[in-house]
Chains A and B, each alone.
Chain A
């Protein structure tokens, strides 16, 4: 069989997404170490410099790196337009984003002005670069797949999120503005606009593809992301709190609707085989439901522990689980795809290529899921300060360390097969 047909001329080289995916867990490892060595005063408020550094290790480091990789992989394939000089552009974006995230987080945690300035500059260039790549793809898109506008809206939200952060840092002389009114907008655009809408768009493609569920209903695919994007814009500009409250509820309803719909589709999947990505996504959707409910509760009980719980449930329970779970499908799929292409193009049609389940063994992924769940529960239970932070940090270190190990083993397998075939 001629698998070279799968080469998909629009698909970028393997290094393009993989360098982002392999770097992403390193930021959670850094977050785990930071958490483990933090004092108990960390949990008193969500506005401490260490807490902000932790939050951005997750948002910029783990989630951001994974999403940069996913956009550069998925968008060209979906729209049918390859990125020009994909390898070089991707390397530049990778260096800017990774170095920028590291500088910004160091600047936050250490009160290091130069780190904040360098981080702001590097991340700004990376965001601009991604926006140009995504913008060009969307303008030339031949496909009307709803993932495409979702990605476009999410990238616009990333630009808004970043611009707000940069303005705040500049306005306050490159010191942390902390609880400024504009940080509410920064968080809203980052969590709902960038993270949620991008994950929704990616889910339209990958949930049916890899979890063997029916497609999302057409009305939901076409309307949910643009509707939430529009609500976010109105929510940002309406100055009256009497109107903002119902708008917040509508945004919350949109997130809840997506989570319930995904759980419903997963319940209707055709083949009921155990699958670790499915479990990660179920955890993600239940966490999204809980995150929204806890966030709504924080309006009546504005206690630090309630606000922190909403943040943990959203960033690690929802977004972290979804990304972690998808890495166990996307990475083996891409390695399988590229191995086939390389071997077939070089004329070795009979060469043996490992299947997806051999690239990352289910048993290893299953252990990492257990460690992830354990770390999440420990963190949530430990928010009132009842579990020593080094214990929670160690749990996250074990989970993220095993994720990184599993991904590195997949890359090593790819290289082993190529070497064995004489490449």
Chain B
């Protein structure tokens, strides 16, 4: 199974992107990471990630949108895989 689970919420109005992201994280299979694609940085999500033991890497997509790679902090190998994909994109700047 591919370790990436892609979730594109870039055409959804608040609060749907946040709801779908949380649902995806709750059901994220062990050994995989979430690749969240949004039109803006989901600033309400990061507090939850920290509380629930997730790590993340936020990047700027080719279309100027926001790409967030999220994995469980204790899954080091999955984090490395996610970062490898994320490194292909520019760092996110406010």
Contacts and interface: CB of A to CB of B under 8 A. Distances in A.
Interface in A4-22: 5-6, 8-10
Interface stretch (A188-196, A209-217, A316-324, A404-412): A209-217
Contacts of B15: 6, 333, 336-337, 356
B40 A212 contact: no
A1 B20 CA distance: 10
Interface string A136-161: 00000001111000000000000000
B64 A214 contact: yes
Given A146-B94, A208-B39, A214-B39, A5 B13 contact: no
Interface string B24-50: 001000000000000111011001100
Contacts of A146: 94
A144 B41 CA distance: 12
Nearest to B94: A144
Contacts of B64: 214-215
A78 interface: yes
B22 A270 contact: no
Contacts of B48: 5-6
B11 interface: yes
B18 interface: yes
Nearest to B20: A1
B18 A145 contact: no
Interface residues of B, number: 24
A3 B39 contact: no
A329 B13 CA distance: 10
B14 interface: yes
B2 interface: no
Contact of B26 (A2, A213, A356): A2
Interface string B51-82: 11000000000001100000000000000000
A180 interface: no
Pairs of residues from A and B, 8 with the lowest C-beta to C-beta distance, nearest first: A270-B11, A144-B94, A5-B48, A208-B40, A209-B14, A1-B23, A215-B40, A5-B22
Interface of B: 10-15, 18-19, 22-23, 26, 39-41, 43-44, 47-48, 51-52, 64-65, 93-94
Interface of A: 1-3, 5-6, 8-10, 77-78, 80, 143-146, 208-215, 218, 221-222, 270-271, 329, 333, 336-337, 356
10 contacts: A1-B26, A5-B52, A6-B44, A144-B94, A209-B40, A212-B12, A212-B39, A270-B10, A270-B39, A337-B15
